[in-house]
Amino acid sequence: MVITNGSRVHRPEALAALERLSAAGGEIWFKVDAGSSEARAALNGISVPTARVVESLHLACDTVPTWIQTMAVHPHADPTGVAQIVQAAQAAGAAPRGLLLYGLRRPSHQPGGEDLRALDHVELTAAADQLRAETGLEVRVFE
């Protein structure tokens, strides 16, 4: 299993590595924590255009079994935005296995990380229900 943000999936050497991983029975967890470039920059400190995330997710799903890993935290919880990325990838033909939803596990050391707070059980369950309804995928929740 490999966890990735998918930013280099389009590179030939990355695709070749994913093909080898798939042939060995592996899978990836493709990290998508927010639907917009601005929210991803605030939460993860990266600014990847949404179209690139969708394209990379589609490539990954075509190459290796892929789960979408998403973290939901306040103030950046974004199940609708994540669902929109998944739906766009699905519309392009991607078939992810499902979503892995988790909350805040440890303090963030990124700038602004002191403002993050975990969703409670009810909020995390509601986010999972929303993701299931909007994507039609299995959603596994990790608290």
pLDDT at residue 79 greater than cutoff 90: no
Centre a 10 Å sphere on the Cβ of residue 75 and count the other Cβ atoms it contains: 12
pTM: 0.88
- Helix (H) / strand (E) containing 84: helix 79-91
Q: Give CA–CA dist 93/112, Å, rounded.
A: 36
CA distance to 50, 61, 85, per residue, from 36 (Å): 6, 21, 9
**Interatomic CA distance for residues 47 and 51, integer angstroms:** 12
Q: Environment class of residue 123 by beta-carbon count within 10 Å: exposed (0-12), middle (13-18) or buried (19+)?
A: middle
Give the model confidence (pLDDT) of 91-104 as tens digits. 999 999 999 998 87
Model confidence at 37, pLDDT cuts 50, 70, 90, reads confident
Q: Name every residue whose Cβ is closer than 8 Å to that of residue 38 and which is 6 or more positions away in sequence.
A: none
